Amino acid sequence: MMRRTERAAVRWVVVAALIVVISAIGVSTVRAPSVVSAPTLRASSAAGSVAPSSLGASVSPDRTTGCASGSCPSTSLGHSEGATSTAFWTNIGSQPSPVWTYDAAMTYDPATQSDLLFGVNASGGTQGNGTWSFAAGRWTDLTGTVGPAPPYQTGPAMVYDAHDGYVLLFGCTIDGEGGEGSTPCNDTWEFSAGAWHWIDAVDPPTYGNVTSPEGQAYPLSLAYDAAGSNVLLTDGFDTWNYSDGIWTPVCVLAGCATGFVPGPDLDGRATYDAADGYVVFVGDRFNASADTYSGSWTWKFSAGAWTNISADVGTQPPALVNAALAYDSTTSAAILFGGVGTSDAYQNQTWSFSEGEWSNLSGTSAPSPRAYAALADDPADASLVLFSGLSPAGPENETWVWSTSPPIGSLTISVAPASPTPGQLADLKSTVTGGVGPFGYAWNFGDGSWSSAADPTHAWAQDGTYSIELWVNDSVDHTSYASTRVVVYAPLALESLVAAPDPAVLGQPVTFTAVASNGTPPYTFAWSFGDGGTGGNLSSITHVYTTDGPFEAEVTVSDAVPSQVDGFVNVSIQLEALAGSSSTSGASPLAVEFVGQAQGGTPPYAYNWTFGDGGTSSLQNPQHTYLDPGRYSVVLTVRDSRGNRSTSSLTVEVTGPTTGGPSVSGWFDAFLAALAATLVLASIWAATWVHRRRERREADEWMDELMGPPGGPGQPPDGAP
């Protein structure tokens, strides 16, 4: 027998072995998230640029597989979160996306592992026959690659026909809505091998020729009945089977044989409930004449017959028309969303049908109320995809997923500034929609540097164009890839802009020269000269000004990025003084009116006149009178607001009086001549007067002698002694 110590040692050895085994089992069963189409990622909060040691300068990431083998950073996301047990709605915001129409149909295509959407128009409008696919959270436009597609269909329905191995489409190639028109709705198409093919089906239904008792045709629904290995078609009234290219009526109102199988006679939708093993139909009956709804009804199709199970499904959804219904293989339940209820109210309730009962799963986060949405299972992404729909506000071009682990929808990259300079730190930001966090990131900055931060910063040392790549995966192995380009360069600059001569001369060429630097050549130039004239793509260009300035000339320089810079130069016209006069010659006194003008320069102007005889004036248009004969030089000086000066001169010649009378300038000489004449006349008059006075006195004296004294001849005068 073993000693007690030996038995204890054996027990410890066994315990240690068990620990090793359990650890090994745990390691082998706990799987870290893997990256399918992206590099494995290193979770990190560091924002710097980290180049993993395994990266070589010559290794280039593969955009399909993620990275070259051994070239990308490895990661452990370091979290315990993941998919939840309850599905929820997520707006994944996938762009670009189709443009909604009323008549869109969508179903899952296992051959391509994607949802196939038909009946949209990528270029807008209300009708179309575009074909798109949805996979891994992204839309892809297939319209130009699927061959001759079905024409626009009114109320089409699509489902994957597992028995025949293709997607089956049935619809109405007519004008109008709701299956109304002159042409029967009996168009059958298949989508296989990436292309559409028309099927010359046997005995296709003539949907649109048969209407409900209320006088309207109900929407079409297609469901693959796995229990019967065929496709079931119903408009809520008539029911047909499809298999091997042959349509077979299950019930046609007119002329049903023995064993007539009535349909639900409802406006609704059908889908195959794989968990319960039958086709489930939910709908409502609208009485057009009474404008009322009959209420919500639930039917099932099993063993070749319709059965009303409304009383056995618990609380039913409200009365709805134009709702969306599809089976969710991930949650094993049929999901009903949206529609129009009583009083034409749009709904956004979410209901689940499982194990024969309805459950209201409506939550706070859901698409806005809408009808006519397309809904389809997406087992590859463990989701139910809802596309678009019509809300009271109009079409809703959105993509939502109902999932416990929604795929990553859109991944975008932004760089700020968009065109950094060498050495300038740029902020890079990633925006992810959808997915299940936390996320792992791998950035490749295109210069050999990497980062695992969500929103890193980075500076490029050299100018050039760099391709930035980002790989993201979430906690449930969804992956996404995005890339963008950044141009790193010294900003475009205008080194100089000159105009010569400056100031310019009217009517003479002015040469403008612009010198650009940095940016990304080649450069282009566009000129505007400020007087309405423009110039083309020249770095040096001439222009002739014919009117007064000043002018502001502008050049816009652009490079190849494109980036642009504007430059301005003020161009003044050379100041020129212009002097004029009403007369340049004449006899004195000569009155002259002078006219002063200025062109070019910068207004306002100041004027100064010198008339050559000592007279001046600061008026623009003065008047001056010359009194003396002579030759006078008149000078006009003009000064503008910037201190520039210009002069102009002219000559005025003044002569003496004319023979026709005293001239204005010889009035003094005339005065002297008149005065002299007056003095001469006065002298003559005075001399004549004196002479006549003397003669008279002498005559008086002679008479006195002749007559003698008063006393008689020879007698002395009176009083003589």
pLDDT band at 5 (very low <50, low <70, confident <90, very high): very low
Give the pLDDT of residue 154: 75
pLDDT-wise least confident of 15-19, 350-354, 497-501: 15-19
pLDDT tens, position by position, 199-213: 999 988 776 544 333
Query: Using CA atoms, how far apart are residues 394 and 380, in angstroms rounded to an integer?
Result: 31
Which backbone phi and psi does 27 adopt, to 5 degrees? -65, -40
Does residue 703 or residue 146 have the better pLDDT?
A: 146
Give the pLDDT of residue 660: 47
Cβ atoms within 10 Å, residue 618: 9
Examine the pLDDT at 239 and tell me if it is beyond 50: yes
pLDDT-wise least confident of 21-25, 155-159, 334-338, 623-627: 21-25
Give the pLDDT of residue 259: 35
Give the pLDDT of residue 169: 95
Give the pLDDT of residue 410: 86
pLDDT-wise least confident of 10-19, 46-55, 445-454: 46-55
Does residue 72 or residue 225 have the better pLDDT?
A: 225
Give the pLDDT of residue 264: 63
Examine the pLDDT at 6 and tell me if it is beyond 50: no
Does an H or E element contain 674, and which?
Answer: helix 667-707
pLDDT-above-70 percentage for the chain: 73
Examine the pLDDT at 501 and tell me if it is beyond 50: yes
pLDDT tens, position by position, 532-565: 999 999 999 999 999 887 899 999 999 987 889 9
Examine the pLDDT at 643 and tell me if it is beyond 80: yes
Q: Which residues contact 510 (CB under 8 A, 6 or more apart)?
A: 499, 500, 501, 502, 504, 542, 543, 544, 545, 571
Burial degree of 333 (CB within 10 A; 0-12, 13-18, 19+):
buried
Query: Using CA atoms, how far apart are residues 72 and 65, in angstroms rounded to an integer?
Result: 11
Please write down the HEC assignment for all residues of 538-596.
CCEEEEECCCCCCEEEEEEEECCCCCEEEEEEEECECCEEEEEECCCEEECCEEEEEEE
Examine the pLDDT at 28 and tell me if it is beyond 60: no
Give the pLDDT of residue 306: 87
Query: Using CA atoms, how far apart are residues 96 and 489, in angstroms rounded to an integer?
Result: 31
pLDDT band at 116 (very low <50, low <70, confident <90, very high): very high
Examine the pLDDT at 335 and tell me if it is beyond 90: yes
Structure tokens at 682: 């006065």
Structure tokens at 528: 């505007």
pLDDT tens, position by position, 406-416: 988 889 999 99
Give the pLDDT of residue 92: 87
* Average pLDDT of the segment spanning 571-583: 91
Give the pLDDT of residue 704: 65
Structure tokens at 556: 């816009």
Does residue 127 or residue 688 have the better pLDDT?
A: 688
Examine the pLDDT at 176 and tell me if it is beyond 60: no
Examine the pLDDT at 709 and tell me if it is beyond 60: no
Residue pair 478/471 in contact by the 8 Å Cβ criterion: no
Give the pLDDT of residue 60: 34
Provide the CB-side half-sphere exposure for 492 (13 A, CA): 24
Give the pLDDT of residue 705: 62
Q: List Cα–Cα distances, 359 to 112, 300, 337, 355, in angstroms.
A: 32, 17, 12, 10
Cβ atoms within 10 Å, residue 124: 10
pLDDT tens, position by position, 602-619: 889 999 999 999 999 999
Mean pLDDT estimate for the chain: 79
Query: Using CA atoms, how far apart are residues 168 and 186, in angstroms rounded to an integer?
Result: 13
Give the pLDDT of residue 100: 78
Give the pLDDT of residue 581: 94
What are the residue ranges of helices labelled H in 303-447? none
pLDDT tens, position by position, 140-169: 999 989 999 988 887 789 999 999 999 999
* Average pLDDT of the segment spanning 511-515: 96
Cβ atoms within 10 Å, residue 713: 7
Which backbone phi and psi does 283 adopt, to 5 degrees? -170, -170
